Amino acid sequence: MGKGSSNVSSIAIVSVFIVSGCLDTAVIGLFPPLFSSMAKELNVSVSSMGFVSAITILFIALSSIVWGYLADKGRRKRLIFFGTSIWTMSLLFTALSQNFIQLITFQIFTGIGLGCIGSIGFSVLSDYIPKKYLGTLMSLWGLSQGFGGILGSVTAPIISAHYGWRSPFIIIAVLGFFFVLFLFFIKEPQKGVAEPELKALESRGISYNYSIKLSHFKLIFDRKSNRWLMLQGFFMSITLGSLLWLPTLYGAKIMAEGIDEKTSLIVAGYFYALLQIGGLSTMYFGYLGDKLQKNTLKGRALLTGSLNLISIPLYVIMFSLPMNNLELFESGNPLSIMSSLINQFIFNPWILGMFLLSVLASAAQSANIPNWLALLTDVNLPEHRATTFSIANLLNGIGRSFGNAFMGIVLGVVSSYYPSPYNYIITMAIFQLFMVPAAFGYFMVSKNSRTDIQNVRAILKERADKLK
């Protein structure tokens, strides 16, 4: 195969897996805006709906370890096809749920299927993205996941307002089936094709044939950078899990201004999307991480840890700002409501202030995904990456589930002392404290990443020399 054909194939493979990341988070993003309507129809409390999201996230994380280990051993295209088929069917059945038990059951299987996307997707992308663009292009994967979450959170209340809460799940399931069809047109991804130390093998048609063994789990945990990246992800995910309640916070603030519930639900979805626009800067911070990493192998970790700390006060202040003088069209028409909301962003200083603070906070937080993924790639061998990511993703899932579910518990306690929306403001501010140990984790990575990266490079060079 010529170099041009090889490049086209690589772009196609990277593009397919970036799109898959969008669908992954779109499923999770569907839930928060629909908590109230789902709880009402299924006759359960709104707080219990947090456990549905938590269970989905937890099973995504648990299953990703199995998917990741299988990906490091075998054929990844076949695995992603099988996993995607599982979650699309399960999501379709979720839309048909008649009670809370059915909802949880189908979401468990949805989580099991979705677990393949993160672990296998990361493994494939880390193999195909050139090292000098690693942070920049990994940010596209992170951006697609962020876009998926926004897509789910924005479309869910709009569609459900007219067609019921089940419709968004059916639509995402159908999109998943189309993604399965695309998998037929890509070739089986090869391991290690982007590693500079292995380039000579690729030009001679020699495959990198190393695969993971059970005994290698000890090697993964022996790398200090891995341990600190996993802990960092766990603590940050607790905070991220609590942020799934942002639409509920916005809805409470909007209703406190006398806006009706239906309009509040739609506007809360818009707020959730618009106030995370700072996440678009993830590409810049991925690029900046690439630049700093060329100068020092500590660069990515120091940059991201510092930005983690900066995001804390920005979010807390944003939570606290009231929506004074909020004026919206209560017509039930999403376009009219959006038009009046844009007017508020321009002329209402309280809403403008919330917007600016949120942009800055989400921008600072957006540095995490591309640089965390790039660091996890750099400090691990190609045959360990899917498994390492899966283990880290399990801890992230536990943290995210804890943040999502425990948010409801803490909210219940705080609510006994403070009315809405102050109960949401105080509770979400408390969960920002978990970003402190997350930032500390990055500073510890900066002390160990140089040694671990150089060790990986030396091993790959030694193996390339043996295979020539």
Chain mean pLDDT for the chain: 85
Residue 1 has pLDDT above 50, yes or no: no
Residue type, 410: V
Give dist(CA 262, CA 444) in Å, integer: 47
- Per residue in 199-219, pLDDT tens? 777 667 777 778 888 899 999
Residue pLDDT, tens place only, 59-108: 888 898 999 999 888 778 888 888 989 999 999 998 888 888 899 999 99
The pLDDT of residue 2 is 47
Amino acid (one-letter) located at 169:
F
Domains of the chain: 3-467 (1.20.1250.20)
CB contact at 8 A, 332 and 262: yes
Report d(CA 281, CA 369) in Å as an integer.
11
pLDDT tens digits for range 147-196? 787 777 777 877 877 788 888 888 888 888 887 777 777 777 677 777 88
Determine contact, residues 258/115, Cβ cutoff 8 Å.
no
- Residue 183 DSSP symbol: G
Most confident of 26-40, 137-151, 208-222, 296-310: 296-310
pLDDT score, position 6: 55
The pTM of the full predicted model, rounded to 2 decimals, is 0.80
The DSSP code sequence of 339-361 is: HHHHHHHHH-HHHHHHHHHHHHH
Residue burial 318-345, b: 16+ Cβ < 10 Å; e: rest = bbebbbeebebebeeebeebbebbeebb
Residues 143/280, Cβ–Cβ less than 8 Å: yes
pLDDT, greater one: 8 or 20: 20
Tell which residue, 257, 388, 253, has the closest CA to residue 327. 257
Residues 462 and 424: their CA atoms lie apart, in Å, by 55
Question: How buried is residue 429: exposed, middle or buried, by Cβ count under 10 Å (0-12/13-18/19+)?
Answer: middle
3-state helix/strand/coil string of 83-142:
HHHHHHHHHHHHCCCCCHHHHHHHHHHHHHHHHHHHHHHHHHHHHHCCHHHHHHHHHHHH
CB contact at 8 A, 176 and 84: yes
